[in-house]
Every structure is written in structure tokens, then in C-alpha cells.
A and B are shown apart, each in its own frame.
Chain A
Amino acid sequence: MGITLVKKNSNEIIGYKQEIESIQKAITDFESGQKLDIAIISEPFAGRSTLVNAIEEMTAYKITKRSFSSIVRNKEELMFPERPKRIVVIDNSHFFYLRTIGGFDILEAFLKSVISSNNLFITTWNLYSWNYLHEVINIGQFFPIQLKLPKFTPTDLKELILSGYKEDELEFLDDVTSEDKRIINFFRYPVTIKGREKTINIPFLTINFDRLRFRLSRKEEKKKAEDIIFEMIYRVSNGNPGVAKVVWEKSLEYPIIKPSYVRENSFKIDLDYTESFILYIILSMESLTKEEIVEITGEIKVDKILYRLAHQGLITVDHGYYKIRPEAFNSLVDYLKKSRVIW
């Protein structure tokens, strides 16, 4: 799930400047005796693991780091060194709970150790798991500093993507035709009359909303192909850096990229409630095995449901772990919000 937000040939991180400052301030306060535990909360693919890795490298203080990629079932994994006082970084803390009866024991033990320990805890959480835990156990009370990672700006996205290439390595070509640049276009739709073998053309107009948006923002004339491409990637990814990187990689025909290569994936999502719930569970945990999904939902037809979710292009399976497909991320979040599976 991790993406790299670090510039090539340097350790400088792109984006999240304000969040890094807040974390550094909390570390300075910890050094002077004030312990304010931190929760870094983000959508999947937003790069929170890279962020804590960068924090680890930036900090001179002794850090103990644990990164989880699957459900934690053993309390011994929560044993942290007590003396001397340290900074403990826990990446993907949402793996401490499972949405089942008895599935909160590990999380409760962890929260107990957070409040009773002298260590400073820097934790990362999936946004949807955090929101759920916030309503159910008011998890926010354990972490005085909560940093919700913001969406990337188009400039940050551009910097992030281009940081992986040399200057002039890529060729940006504008293939937007003059027809595509018009706001209103007329088309003729051929209709064949049954029995008469005659085709008539029905004229109708279409509105090019992309161009309309550009015109309204009055930036169109100055735009280069490069800017158009990055605006498109920003719109498709909705500012999520991990999704933007995947869209970029799928659009690039090395070393050429054109606006027409950037495809907005449209997902026709049609799910019943149980399917939506399973999709939500995968979204909020980020990585689950089939057995864990069965344990959470008690659903015996889980194979069929996972097949349907994969068939609609919403999830993928990687070494037995079911995960959200980055390209489908924004569409499925919209769908789950609309159907109120996400509270």
C-alpha cells in the first residue's frame, strides 16, 4: 500500500510540510517533558508510511518502529521498551482491531500501554477505521495530536511524479483537437427505421464540461500540455498521491504522454448491502485475508462476493490478501458514502 513521497537523490519529502512541522514540535515538547501522543490519519494510498519513515530519518531521538501489514493477534507484539523513554512509531495501527465480538482486546491493550507508558507514540491509522473507532470507542481521546493528511495540490502531485525522472526525459504532447476545445459540439446520431431500411440522422448537441471548466477558470490560453495532463491526473486521483501515481504509470507510454492517454476510469458499481459492507471492510482495513473477512462478516458466500467485487474492478488479491484497487478508490468511496455504508 506504501508509496514513496521522497524526492529522488535527496531525503526531502514532498507535501505534508505542516504535518511534519507539527510532529517535530511534538518531539521537541517530548524532549522537554511533555508527552502528546500523535495519530496520523489518512486515506489509503496517501503515503502515511513514507511520512513516518521520513520522520524516523529526520529525528535524532531514539526511535522504536513497528510496521504492521496484517491483523495483530498476539499481545506480545505490543511489548515496547520502557526505559529509557523513547519515541515509538506504530505504522498501520488499525491492524490492532478486528470488527468482531472480542476483536477489540488487542486495541484496548495497546491503548492501555499508550496512556500508561512514558514513551511518545506516533501512530498511523486508516481514515475509515479511525472514523469507525472514533464513534465506537472515542479513540481520539487517547491521541491529543491528530493529523489528518490533506489532499495533494496539483503542484505537489506534479512535483511528486516528476521527481522520478530527469529533466527533459519525458515528452508532453498536446493532442487535444480543435473540436475537443469547443464547449458545444453538434453531432448527428443515426437512427435506422425498422422495416424501411432507412437511416435518419438526428442532430444533438453535447457540452464539453472539461473545456467549460477551463474557460471559466480563464487559464485555458496559457495552458501547456504538461499542465493539462497534471490537472487531469489531479482530477482523476482527487489529490490522492498513491492513486495519482498509478494513473500516471497507466497513462505514460514512455517517454511520451498526451492528454488523451489519461483515462478517467469509470466504474459501474452495482452491489447489494452485504457486498458493500465487505468492500467497506476491505477499504477500512486495507489488507485482509478471506478467512478474516469471513470472521468479520460471518458471510458464508464470501467467495462469490469477492469474485463479484474483483469482477467489477474494485478489489485485487495479492498473495492471499484482498486490497482496494487504487484506480477504483475514489469511485468506490463515493459509492459507499452515498449508500451510507461509510458513516
Chain B
Amino acid sequence: MVDNTNFPGVEVPIKPIDLGTILSSILIIIGAYLVTRIITYILIRVSERAGARRITVKMVVPLLKFAIYGIALYYILGFLISLSSTQLIAFSGLLGAAIGFGLKDLFADVIGGLIIIFEKPYQLGDKVKIGDYYGEVSDIGIRATRLVTPDDNLVSVPNYLIFTQAVASANAGSPEMMVVIDLFIDLDSDAELAMSILKEAIVTSKYVYISKKRPFTVILEDYPFYRRIRAKAYVYDLRYEFEFKSEVTRRTWKEFSKKGITAPQVNVMSEKTMC
């Protein structure tokens, strides 16, 4: 049993907490957790069949999570307190103070999560760079966003970082994503032929996506001891980013070696390093 808390001027009626209240609250939390897990499982499965709308379908997941946990919180608070409108204002002040002193970070994370969902600086399934970490967004939770890095590490990034850090999203909600491929050749090799081979390697790749809005380019840049050929093209699904890069690079070098196009010599590279 807990005494009613007195607040200057207004009395906030906190209901007595008994075993039933605790059990009900636990059941609601478990129920909310199970419902979110089931919905997440179903929507992720559906999203994989949704083709171009994969990321849009996935974005419903965090929205539903917030809604379900919000409703669960509402019911739990309903067990604990019953408020009139005046009391609600007073309780909000009390809650504000609690948030200000103790739950500041948690509250910032929750607000950050809501902003991520509605403002969409990134979405579920996007490839993003937040702080020092780069990876695919696998979950946007109440408190943190989870990224899967290229070497399969799961990184939890607190949602409040959205207020303080710049976030780079490589695909901004689209399933396709630009990939930059750099190849270096020596000065004696035929650069025009090399560009043409790289272009054909790009357009014939099984992972490439080309359209009016998603064009490809191949550019040449001269450096003192070597030349860089850079290709910019879109991979049809960002999950194949590294396979695309690897496939194009492998096939291009195979063709380069047939046509006598060579990489910069090691001694030249060391000379450059020395400079």
C-alpha cells in the first residue's frame, strides 16, 4: 500500500498498488511485447514479398511498436492513477520534473524515435552512417536504432543522437542504392578501353539497376603516377552492395588482364607514398 502523493494545491489520487495491479501490468507488458513480436514477424515476411515497397512496409513496424507500447502504458497508468483534467495538468508537471531529473535520456530516446518515424531521416532497411557506424537499419526501437554492420555486428545507437549527430542515408527509403567502384590502372594502359570495359561490366552485372532516375557514369581521373577509373551505378537491392562491387571488380579485372591493362606498379605506388 502506498500513500497518496500530495502536490501543492492539487491532490493526485494514486490508486493502491496491490498484487492484482502488478499482475495486470505485467500481463499488459507481456501482451504488448508478444503482439509487437508477432506483428513484426508478419510484416517483415510481407515486406520481403512486397518488391519495391519493401522498405515502406517495414516502416510500419516501428510505428506500430510505438502505438502498442503507448496503449500499454496508458492502461498501466490507468491502473495506478485516475485523474481529472486539473489533476492531469498537475501530474504532467510532476512527470516533467521526473523526466528532467532522472529519465531525461530515456525520454529523449523516445522522442528521437518518434521523430525518426515521422520525419524519416532514415527508414528500416536503409543503409546509414550514424556517428562512426555504417550499416543496415535492422530495427527502430523505442529507445535505440539497431544497425547491422558489413561485418555482421549488431550496433545499438540511441535514438536521441538524431538531435546531435548528422545521419547519412545511402538510399533514403529506396530499395536501390548508389555504389561507387574505384579501379586504378597504370599510366601506360589504354584508359579509354579500360573505361569501356568497366562500363560494360556495370551494365551487364546481374545486380545493377538502371533507369532515367538511376543512371550510371564512368569517369577517369589522372594522378601523377596512376589513373583512377570511377564507376557510379545503382545496385538493385542495397543488401547486395558488396556483391555488386565485388562482381563488377572481378569481371573488369579479368577483362583488363586479357586486354593488357595493368594495375599501377608497386614501386610507383611506393614512390607516391614517399612523396
A binds B: yes
Q: Are B203 and A136 within 8 A (Cβ)?
A: yes
Segment at the A interface, from B119-127, B134-142, B204-212: B204-212
Q: Are B204 and A340 within 8 A (Cβ)?
A: no
Task: Please count the residue pairs between chain A and chain B whose beta carbons lie under 8 angstroms apart in the complex.
Answer: 42
A16, B62: Cα distance in complex, Å: 51
Q: Are A101 and B255 within 8 A (Cβ)?
A: yes
CB-based closest 9 A-B pairs:
A135-B210, A338-B51, A277-B206, A101-B200, A136-B203, A99-B204, A101-B255, A340-B51, A101-B201
Residue among A99, A101, A337, A341 with the highest chain B CB neighbour number at 10 A: A101
Q: A101-B200, A277-B206 are in contact. Are A340 and B175 (CB under 8 A)?
A: yes
Out of A104, A339, A343, name the residue touching B200 (CB < 8 Å). A104
Out of A273, A297, A337, name the residue touching B51 (CB < 8 Å). A337
Out of A102, A104, A136, A337, name the residue touching B210 (CB < 8 Å). A136
Residues of the A chain whose Cβ atoms lie less than 8 Å from the Cβ of B240:
273
Out of B206, B210, B251, B252, name the residue touching A343 (CB < 8 Å). B210
**Per-residue A-contact encoding for B146-175, CB less than 8 Å = 1, 0 else:** 000000000000000000000000000001
Residues of the B chain whose Cβ atoms lie less than 8 Å from the Cβ of A341:
236
Residues of the B chain whose Cβ atoms lie less than 8 Å from the Cβ of A101:
197, 200-201, 204, 251-252, 255
**Per-residue A-contact encoding for B193-226, CB less than 8 Å = 1, 0 else:** 0000100110110100111100000000000000
Residues of the A chain whose Cβ atoms lie less than 8 Å from the Cβ of B210:
135-136, 343
Q: Does A103 contact B (CB under 8 A)?
A: yes
Q: Are A135 and B51 within 8 A (Cβ)?
A: no
Q: A273-B240, A340-B175 are in contact. Are A100 and B204 (CB under 8 A)?
A: yes
B214 to chain A, nearest CB (A): 9
B49 to chain A, nearest CB (A): 7
Q: Does B97 contact A (CB under 8 A)?
A: no
**Per-residue B-contact encoding for A135-146, CB less than 8 Å = 1, 0 else:** 110000000000
B251 nearest in chain A by CB position = A101
B54 nearest in chain A by CB position = A340
Interface residues of B in 219-242 (CB under 8 A from A): 236-237, 240
A103 nearest in chain B by CB position = B204
Residues of the A chain whose Cβ atoms lie less than 8 Å from the Cβ of B237:
273, 340
Interface residues of A in 263-312 (CB under 8 A from B): 273-274, 277, 296-298
A109 to chain B, nearest CB (A): 15
Number of interface residues of A (CB under 8 A): 20
Q: Are A343 and B204 within 8 A (Cβ)?
A: no
A299 nearest in chain B by CB position = B206
New A-B contacts (6) at CB < 8 Å, excluding given A101-B201, A297-B206, A343-B211: A99-B204, A101-B204, A273-B206, A273-B237, A337-B51, A339-B51
B146 to chain A, nearest CB (A): 24
Q: Are B51 and A102 within 8 A (Cβ)?
A: no
Q: Does B26 contact A (CB under 8 A)?
A: no
A181, B237: Cα distance in complex, Å: 45
Q: Are B206 and A338 within 8 A (Cβ)?
A: no
A277, B204: Cα distance in complex, Å: 11
A88, B64: Cα distance in complex, Å: 62
Q: Are A102 and B203 within 8 A (Cβ)?
A: no
Interface residues of A in 58-106 (CB under 8 A from B): 99-104
A133 nearest in chain B by CB position = B203
B251 to chain A, nearest CB (A): 6
A297, B205: Cα distance in complex, Å: 8
Residues of the B chain whose Cβ atoms lie less than 8 Å from the Cβ of A297:
206
Q: A135-B211, A277-B206 are in contact. Are A338 and B49 (CB under 8 A)?
A: yes
A272 to chain B, nearest CB (A): 12
Residues of the A chain whose Cβ atoms lie less than 8 Å from the Cβ of B209:
340, 343
Residues of the A chain whose Cβ atoms lie less than 8 Å from the Cβ of B252:
101
**Per-residue A-contact encoding for B55-86, CB less than 8 Å = 1, 0 else:** 00000000000000000000000000000000
A337, B49: Cα distance in complex, Å: 11
Q: Does B34 contact A (CB under 8 A)?
A: no
Residues of the B chain whose Cβ atoms lie less than 8 Å from the Cβ of A273:
206, 237, 240
A99, B201: Cα distance in complex, Å: 9
A104, B212: Cα distance in complex, Å: 21
A337, B200: Cα distance in complex, Å: 24
Residues of the A chain whose Cβ atoms lie less than 8 Å from the Cβ of B236:
340-341
B210 to chain A, nearest CB (A): 4
Q: Does B52 contact A (CB under 8 A)?
A: yes
A280 nearest in chain B by CB position = B206
A136, B205: Cα distance in complex, Å: 12
A274 nearest in chain B by CB position = B206
B176 nearest in chain A by CB position = A340
21 contacting pairs across A/B (C-beta < 8 A): A99-B204, A101-B201, A101-B255, A102-B200, A103-B200, A103-B204, A104-B200, A135-B211, A135-B212, A136-B203, A273-B206, A274-B206, A277-B206, A296-B204, A297-B206, A298-B251, A338-B49, A339-B51, A340-B175, A343-B209, A343-B211
B215 to chain A, nearest CB (A): 9
A277, B243: Cα distance in complex, Å: 14
Residues of the B chain whose Cβ atoms lie less than 8 Å from the Cβ of A339:
51
A135 nearest in chain B by CB position = B210
**Per-residue B-contact encoding for A302-343, CB less than 8 Å = 1, 0 else:** 000000000000000000000000000000000001111101
Q: A135-B211, A298-B251 are in contact. Are A340 and B200 (CB under 8 A)?
A: no
Interface residues of A in 14-37 (CB under 8 A from B): none
A103, B240: Cα distance in complex, Å: 24
Residues of the B chain whose Cβ atoms lie less than 8 Å from the Cβ of A104:
200
